[in-house]
Amino acid sequence: MAPTDKSSFAPPTIERACVIGAGPIGCATAAHLVRQGLEVTICDVDASKVAPLQSTGAGPGRVIIRGGVMDGEDPIAAASTELAEVVPGADLIIMAVPGDACEHVARAAAPHLKDGVVVFFQPGQTLSSMAFLHAARQAGFEGEITPVETVSTIFTGRLTEPGVAEIYAIKRWIAFAAFPAERTTVLAPVLRALLPSLVPVGSVLETSLCNFNAVVHPAVTLLNAGPIDNHRPFLFYHEGATPAVMRLVEAIDFERLAMMRAFGIPSESLLSWFNRIYALNAPSLVYAFRTNEPYAEIHAPTSLNTRLLLEDLPTGVVPLIDLADRVGVPVPAMKGTLALANTILDTDFASWGRTLETIGLGHLDRDGLRGLLGPTR
Q: Which of the residues are catalytic?
A: 217, 312
Give strand pairing partners of 139: none
Q: Binder to other proteins among 61, 67, 240, 319 (CB under 8 A)?
A: 240
225 binds other proteins (CB under 8 A): yes
245 binds other proteins (CB under 8 A): yes
| DSSP β-ladder status, 164-170 and 155-161 | antiparallel
Q: Binder to other proteins among 244, 281, 328, 363 (CB under 8 A)?
A: 244
Q: Rounded to whole angstroms, how far apart are CA atoms 317 and 335?
A: 8
Q: In the complex, what is the shortest distance from the CB of residue 342 to other proteins, in angstroms, rounded to a whole number?
A: 9
229 binds other proteins (CB under 8 A): yes
Q: In the complex, what is the shortest distance from the CB of residue 335 to other proteins, in angstroms, rounded to a whole number?
A: 7
x/- letters, 326..365, toward other proteins (CB under 8 A):
------xx-xxx-xx--xxxx-------------------
CA-closest candidate to residue 41, choices 77, 88, 92, 89: 77
Determine the interface stretch with other proteins among 83-91, 178-186, 239-247, 270-278 (rule: CB under 8 A): 239-247
With beta carbons less than 8 A apart as the criterion, state whether 81 and 108 touch. no
Residue 35: φ, ψ to 5°? -70, -20
Q: Binder to other proteins among 82, 233, 234, 351 (CB under 8 A)?
A: 234
| Longest distance between any two alpha carbons in the chain, whole Å | 61
- Judged by CB under 8 A, the chain residues 294 through 333 that form the site for other proteins are 304, 332-333
Q: In the complex, what is the shortest distance from the CB of residue 307 to other proteins, in angstroms, rounded to a whole number?
A: 16
DSSP letter string over 238-270?
A: TTT--HHHHHHHHHHHHHHHHHHHHHT-----H
3 state DSSP class of 370: helix
Nearer to other proteins, 130 or 241 (CB): 241
Nearer to other proteins, 151 or 286 (CB): 286
With beta carbons less than 8 A apart as the criterion, state whether 128 and 55 touch. no
With beta carbons less than 8 A apart as the criterion, state whether 332 and 301 touch. no
3 state DSSP class of 346: coil
The residues binding other proteins (CB under 8 A) are 220, 222-230, 232, 234, 239-245, 247-248, 251, 304, 332-333, 335-337, 339-340, 343-346
